[in-house]
């Protein structure tokens, strides 16, 4: 599978690549990193934009920005989100409790369902093709990628829009905080990777990819990917990664760049440390000080991996170790809550 185009909306100004890459990374101090959105001026009529819930706006807006700029008309739309439009969901819940199940307005209800993103995009672009949404927690994004691959393997689908949206709201921040996912004290987000405490900080993002089964002109090729859905030690993860590399006839030294999901939680960093040691000759990068932690953040890592191939400079704070200048294969490893692991192997594309 080939990635022809990619686009990300994140707590950094990634929607404008030149901004993200040249300027200093933006620091946050409230442990909640919210995305910086483009204006979507040309992508979505203003009257529609106003009526969109936040998750729908991020997903549809991100997809439209990428598709309009590059004149893309996908044959399939596959989205992924661990929580979907939670802001709308809780707004509707609020209505239920405040009005004691009285006469409610349905907008929040309709937009709270995760398939509202892919559905709204289909509606806006009059796209009737294959349309589905994955909600399997932190594995949603790679599940959606597998769905795209299965569909394209059938030979009738020549392109697929793969999207991923995760939004934070004060509500799910609260729920995850109660569940012990975040730090107890406020920190500077850019210092996240230096912290020695438990928990991470909360983030969000939307990432879009335009996939094709055959391509001569592409940003990156997806060589292999898989998920593991249980508490796994570094040895178990490494065993799976080595077996993947074996299948692809690659030595570990072939991995020029390694992107890891370090999130500042000192209790769950061992797997990242072990991989850093194992891939001793690879460049190593981290990203969650820029995005915060969220279930499907591996979609941002994929976007960042593609930027590496395009020989773009990343913010210096992303670089944990530089060993070499050749960029050929990028390996991405991330886990969420130690239980959901994502592994993705990319090869450099033809287009810089």
Partner 1 sequence: MSGSIVVSGIGIISAIGNNIEEIHFSLKNGICGIKRAQILKSKYKENFLFGEIPFSNQELIKKYSLSLSEDYTRTDILAEIAFQQAFQDAGWSHECIQSNKTCFISSSTVGGMSEIDELYHDAIHKTNPSVFIQSYAFSAHAKKIVERYEIKGKTAVINTACSSSSNAILLAQRMIEQGYADRAIVGGVDSLSKFTINGFSSLSILSQGYCKAFDQNRDGLNLGESAVYLCLEKESKNTKNYYGKIISGGNANDSFHPSALSDDGKGITLAITSALEKAKLSFENIDFIQAHGTGTPNNDLVETKTMKTLFKRHLPFYSSKTYVGHTLAASGAFGIVTCLLALKNKEIYANLNFQQAIEEINYPPNLINQPFEAKYAMSNAFGFNGNCTSIILQR
Q: Which residues bind partner 1 (CB under 8 A)?
A: 77, 82-84, 89-90, 92-93, 95-97, 100-101, 103-106, 109-111, 113-116, 118-120, 122-123, 125-137, 139-140, 143, 146-147, 150-151, 153-154, 171-172, 174-175, 177-179, 227, 229-230, 339
For partner 1, the closer of residues 129 and 323 by Cβ is 129
Half-sphere exposure in the Cβ direction for 87 (13 Å, CA): 14
Q: How far is C-alpha 154 from the geometric centre of its chain's CA atoms?
A: 26
Shortest distance (Å) from residue 51 CB to partner 1: 10
For partner 1, the closer of residues 109 and 210 by Cβ is 109
Buried b (16+ CB within 10 A) or exposed e, 243-265: ebbeeeebebebbbbbbbbbbbb
Half-sphere exposure in the Cβ direction for 251 (13 Å, CA): 5
For partner 1, the closer of residues 88 and 257 by Cβ is 88
Shortest distance (Å) from residue 323 CB to partner 1: 34
Hey, which residues does 255 pair with through a beta bridge? 329
Residue where the block lists tokens 């040309």: 42
Q: Taking Cα atoms as reference points, which of 56, 60, 76, 51 lies closest to residue 127?
A: 76
Q: CB 45: neighbour CB atoms within 10 A?
A: 11
For partner 1, the closer of residues 1 and 83 by Cβ is 83
From residue 17, give the alpha-carbon distance in Å to each of 35, 174, 303, 312, 327. Answer: 14, 32, 11, 9, 19
Shortest distance (Å) from residue 151 CB to partner 1: 7
Shortest distance (Å) from residue 139 CB to partner 1: 7
From residue 246, give the alpha-carbon distance in Å to each of 124, 242, 339. Answer: 44, 6, 25
For partner 1, the closer of residues 100 and 352 by Cβ is 100
CA distance 286 to 191: 12
Shortest distance (Å) from residue 175 CB to partner 1: 5
For partner 1, the closer of residues 282 and 297 by Cβ is 297
For partner 1, the closer of residues 129 and 274 by Cβ is 129
**Tokens of residue 254, six digits:** 């072939």
CA distance 129 to 13: 31
Shortest distance (Å) from residue 297 CB to partner 1: 16
Shortest distance (Å) from residue 71 CB to partner 1: 19
Residue where the block lists tokens 């249980």: 230
For partner 1, the closer of residues 138 and 306 by Cβ is 138
Shortest distance (Å) from residue 253 CB to partner 1: 28
């Amino acid at each position: 599978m080939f990635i022809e185009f990619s686009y990300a909306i994140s707590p950094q100004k990634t929607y404008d690549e030149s901004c993200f890459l040249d300027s200093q990374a933006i620091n946050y101090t409230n442990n909640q990193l919210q995305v910086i959105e483009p204006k979507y001026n040309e992508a979505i009529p203003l009257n529609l934009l106003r009526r969109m819930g936040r998750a729908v706006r991020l997903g549809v807006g991100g997809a439209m920005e990428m598709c309009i700029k590059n004149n893309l008309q996908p044959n399939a739309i596959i989205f992924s989100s661990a929580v979907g439009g939670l802001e709308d969901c809780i707004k509707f819940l609020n209505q239920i409790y405040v009005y004691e199940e009285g006469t409610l307005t349905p907008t929040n209800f309709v937009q709270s369902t995760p398939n509202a993103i892919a559905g709204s995009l289909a509606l806006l672009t009059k796209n009737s093709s294959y349309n589905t949404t994955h909600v399997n927690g932190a594995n949603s994004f790679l599940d959606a990628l597998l769905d795209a691959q299965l569909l394209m393997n059938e030979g009738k689908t020549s392109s697929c829009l793969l999207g991923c949206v995760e939004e934070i709201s004060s509500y799910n921040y609260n729920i995850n905080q109660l569940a012990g996912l975040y730090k107890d004290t406020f920190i500077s987000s850019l210092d996240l990777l230096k912290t020695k405490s438990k928990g991470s900080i909360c983030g969000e993002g939307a990432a879009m990819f335009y996939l094709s089964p055959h391509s001569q002109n592409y940003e990156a090729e997806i060589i292999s990917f898989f998920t593991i859905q249980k508490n796994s030690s570094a040895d178990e993860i490494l065993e799976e990664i080595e077996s993947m590399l074996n299948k692809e006839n690659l030595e570990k030294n072939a991995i020029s760049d390694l992107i890891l999901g370090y999130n500042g939680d000192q209790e769950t960093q061992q797997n990242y440390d072990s991989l850093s040691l194992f891939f001793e000759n690879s460049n190593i990068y981290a990203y969650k000080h820029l995005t915060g932690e969220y279930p499907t953040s591996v979609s941002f890592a994929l976007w960042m991996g593609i930027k590496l191939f395009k020989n773009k400079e990343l913010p210096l704070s992303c670089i944990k170790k530089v060993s070499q200048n050749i960029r050929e294969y990028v390996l991405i490893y991330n886990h969420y809550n130690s239980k959901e692991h994502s592994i993705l192997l990319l090869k450099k594309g033809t287009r810089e």
